[in-house]
Amino acid sequence: MRRLVNIHRLTSRKRQQGVALITVMLIVALAAILATQMSSKLQFQLQRTANIEVNQQAYWYAMGAEAFAKRVLFMSFDGEENVTHLDQIWARGESSYPIDYGQISGEITDMQSCFNLNALRKSSTTSVSNNTPTAPKGKASSSTEPHTMAITALEKLIVELNIENVSNFEAKDMVDALTDWLDSDSFVSNNGGAEDNDYSSKEYPYLAANHYLASVNELRLIEHFTLPIIEALKPHVCVIPNSNLHKINVNTIDADNVEILVALLGVSKDVAQEIISARPDEGYAKIDDVFVLPQLTQYKLTQDQKDQLVVDSEYFTLKTKTSFNDSFFFLNSIMKIENNKQINVISRTIGRD
């Protein structure tokens, strides 16, 4: 009997030791898991901090490129305050500068060498727009409002691009929808227009902006504009923030973008190409030098058509790409030149487009 009791006590003791050993092993395993998680989170935080520092450094390099671009623009117009052309130093294409562990690339382009989509927005009737210059002495002012000329020109531009399945009717519908998107009211202006009722009935409803466009990509929200149409338009159009300025610089229009001259003046594509070919390296000194070209004498251009062209620009965009320690940063800066002296950044967007 005593022997059975001893055996029971020995078995119970071994069981207790086994339970204790299992408990210790569980505690050790739990501590190992916690230590691993803490180490992983610590490494993640360290990497996150390093990435933020690298990205921040790339950002400041981009801001340095912006400051340098301001200086380039200031130097470009020193002595040439009344003309902007492609032989000035700002127009030398993309430039790259090496830095430690990376490089900075930047390119300045003239925003008045493309069609400003915001030009379709009508100026306020209660005040004179700052973007509408007064007529020079001895010269009659335009009888047609700039936004009306812009509407007509954009319709012609869309048709001139020969986009598949886009005729005069589709072009007019697109322009009507864009006009309604930009205007300040909620009334449909024409048959092809669209306002809140049209957009709020979609699967994912929204309202018309009734304000200026912020980006060309905003066209994706507007009725009748499809992705192929937007991609075809992108090389020819742009968006000047909060401005309905409709003044295209004939001196900075690219030779591959003559369709814009066709749309503005109603001339043939061959004549538009001849206008660009006849352009001096230093650009046309006066806008009147354009309209005395023999190629244009056969066209009876109205003063409204002529007023769409200028020989100087005030809006420029800088596209900056900064690579630093395997980190990339893209910054698009829009700059406005005030009185040929002060250069202000009016918009900054982060991203490729």
Residue-level pLDDT, tens digit, the chain, 353 residues: 655 555 555 566 656 666 677 777 888 888 888 888 877 777 777 667 766 787 888 888 899 999 999 999 989 888 888 899 999 999 999 999 998 888 999 999 999 999 999 999 988 753 334 444 444 433 444 556 878 999 999 999 999 999 998 999 999 999 999 999 999 988 888 888 999 999 999 999 999 999 999 999 999 999 999 999 999 999 999 999 999 999 999 999 999 899 999 999 999 999 999 999 999 999 999 999 999 998 888 888 999 999 999 999 999 999 999 988 878 889 999 999 987 678 999 999 988 76
What distance in Å separates the CA atoms of residue 309 and residue 101, rounded to the nearest whole number? 45
Q: What is residue 78's predicted lDDT score, i.e. its pLDDT?
A: 83
pLDDT value of residue 4: 52
Question: Which residues is 10 bridged to in the sheet?
Answer: none
Q: What's this model's pTM, rounded to 2 decimal places?
A: 0.81
Q: What pLDDT, on a 0 to 100 scale, did the predictor assign at position 25? A: 81
- In whole angstroms, what is the distance from residue 168 CA to residue 162 CA? 10
